């Protein structure tokens, strides 16, 4: 298999990867969701396992994906469930990768019965802020733990994708940030990605257009080199 050619340079590392899109319920049958497929997170988990890591994959809603071999799968639904699963697993992890698309907001009210159409105009949906799981993980980070974030950005008239990414890296305080350029359309649901890999030490690597497995191997190379340069 292709995995046989990979280095076993993650042996001894415990990694936790989040993937997919959270779903925030409105009632028992409806939710607010997003279009994340989970493919990138699954590729990151799969490549980590192929390179020898002990991997936990915390998966929110995903496309119909094959569970990577040798990976422990934890299923979650909402942002709050994903947060609990990540904190629980982070305690004994060396590397945390937040590739999940976590809903920024959730409905305030969870209606216990299916909302009826009725004759009246609908009420607006009231939303409240979800916790920022990545920021919490960074704040709770133990010594020697590496934290990787993701950002899907589109450039606009004033600020390019890279500038958005640099600002987000600073704001989040993680060690590495994968900046996906989604302006060109592809990243969500597609098989390919491209963008930038930004390190807290100022290193900026372009991620050429390529498969999600290729992005995963670039990511793990950067984690390995970051961890070896911070060893004393």
Active site residue 130: no
Angle of CA points 178, 179, 181, to nearest 5°: 140
Q: Applying CB under 5 A, does 104 fall inside the site for Ca ion?
A: yes
By CB under 6 A, tell whether 40 contacts ligand CTP.
no
Judge whether 152 and 165 are in contact, CB under 8 Å: no
CB of 104 to ligand CTP, least distance (A): 5
Q: Quick one: which segment of 62-70, 129-137, 200-208, 224-232 binds ligand CTP (CB under 6 A)? A: 129-137
For position 130 contacting ligand CTP by CB under 6 A, the verdict is yes
Which member of 34, 130, 180, 193 is catalytic?
A: 34
How many residues contact Ca ion, by CB under 5 A?
A: 1
Q: Say how far apart CA 43 and CA 64 lie, in whole Å.
A: 14
Check residue 195 for interaction with ligand CTP (CB under 6 A): no
Minimum distance from residue 102 beta carbon to Ca ion (Å): 7
**Cα-Cα-Cα-Cα dihedral sign, residues 107, 98, 164, 62:** negative
One character per residue 94-123, x = contact with ligand CTP (rule: CB under 6 A)? ----x-x-x-x-------------------
**Which letter does DSSP use for residue 180 in this model?**
E
Which residues inside 59-88 make contact with ligand CTP, applying CB under 6 A? 79
Residue 132 makes contact with ligand CTP by CB under 6 A: yes
Neighbours of 209 (CB within 10 A): 14
Does residue 151 touch ligand CTP according to CB under 6 A?
yes
CA atoms of 130 and 120, how far apart (whole Å) = 30
Token digits of residue 25: 């319920």
Q: Are 127 and 107 in contact (CB under 8 A)?
A: yes
Q: Applying CB under 6 A, does 217 fall inside the site for ligand CTP? A: no
Of the pair 3, 105, the CB lying nearest ligand CTP is at 105
Q: Which is nearer to Ca ion, 104 or 192 (CB)?
A: 104
Does residue 88 touch Ca ion according to CB under 5 A?
no
Task: Give the N- to C-terminal CA distance of the chain in Å, as an integer.
Answer: 36
- Residue 12 CA neighbour count, 13 Å, CB half: 2
Distance CA 75, CA 151 (A): 22
Decide whether 114 or 171 has the Cβ nearer to ligand CTP: 171
As measured in angstroms, the least distance from the Cβ of 109 to ligand CTP is 19
The residues annotated as belonging to the active site are 34
Residues that bind ligand CTP (CB under 6 A): 79, 98, 100, 102, 104, 130, 132-134, 149-152
């Amino acid at each position: 298999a292709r995995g046989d050619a990979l280095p076993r340079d993650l042996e001894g590392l415990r990694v936790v990867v989040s993937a997919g899109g959270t779903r925030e319920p409105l009632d028992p049958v409806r939710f607010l969701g997003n279009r994340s497929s989970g493919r990138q997170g699954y590729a990151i988990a799969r490549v980590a396992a192929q390179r020898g890591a002990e991997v936990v994959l915390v998966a929110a809603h995903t496309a119909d994906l094959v569970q990577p071999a040798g990976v422990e799968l934890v299923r979650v639904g909402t942002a709050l469930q994903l947060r609990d699963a990540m904190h629980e697993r982070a305690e004994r992890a060396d590397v945390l990768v937040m590739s999940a698309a976590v809903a920024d907001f959730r409905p305030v009210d969870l209606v216990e019965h299916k909302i009826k159409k009725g004759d009246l105009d609908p009420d607006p949906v009231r939303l409240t802020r979800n916790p920022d799981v990545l920021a919490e993980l960074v704040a709770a980070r133990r010594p020697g733990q590496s934290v990787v974030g993701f950002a899907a950005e589109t450039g606009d008239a004033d600020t390019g994708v890279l500038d958005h990414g640099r600002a987000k890296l600073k704001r989040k305080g993680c060690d590495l940030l994968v900046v996906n350029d989604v302006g060109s359309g592809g990243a969500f649901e597609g098989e390919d990605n491209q963008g930038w890999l930004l390190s807290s030490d100022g290193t900026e690597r372009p991620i050429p257009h390529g498969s999600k497995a290729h992005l995963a191997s670039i990511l793990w190379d950067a984690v390995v080199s970051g961890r070896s340069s911070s060893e004393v």
